[in-house]
Copies of this chain bind each other. A is one copy, B any other.
């Protein structure tokens, strides 16, 4: 609606291509969510965040669709699920090897880079032969520093 002003540095057609290359039809809704998520550096969002931000950006889409899209994006490796609290799923646009720091007081999640070799140590484990390691999640739970007793 407003051709004079672009909201992002990545043109729409490149998002379209990204989606197409991943086997996803570039619908209005997928393009909107992809732009939201993939333009602003690493982000942690919930379905609600995506819903709300899409509305603010003038793109209305149903919750059902938000969930559909986020799950599809997870399947194709565009985002990654992060679960730190029961009853809420976060989606992380950083799909490289890293860990998460979860502040139990504020509810905030932050990425923490880690020497990949160190993270790989955790993969060298005795796992039954019939299964395969899909992912290794490391969550550092932090809280308010307890003041010394008395």
Task: List residues of chain A with CB under 8 Å of any chain B CB.
Answer: 83-89, 99, 101, 103-104, 112, 114, 118, 121-123, 125-146
Contacts and interface: CB of A to CB of B under 8 A. Distances in A.
A134 B127 contact: no
Contacts of A135: 140-141
A52 B4 CA distance: 63
23 contacts: A83-B84, A86-B89, A99-B122, A103-B131, A104-B134, A114-B122, A114-B125, A118-B121, A122-B138, A122-B140, A128-B142, A129-B145, A130-B144, A131-B142, A131-B145, A132-B143, A132-B145, A132-B146, A133-B141, A134-B142, A134-B143, A136-B139, A137-B141
Q: What is the count of identical protomers in the complex?
A: 2
A130 B85 CA distance: 22
Contacts of A130: 144-145
A133 B146 CA distance: 10
Contact of A144 (B125, B132, B143): B132
Contact of A125 (B103, B121, B140, B146): B140
A135 to B, nearest CB: 4
A137 B136 contact: no
Given A131-B142, A136-B140, 4 more contacts: A99-B122, A122-B138, A127-B140, A132-B146
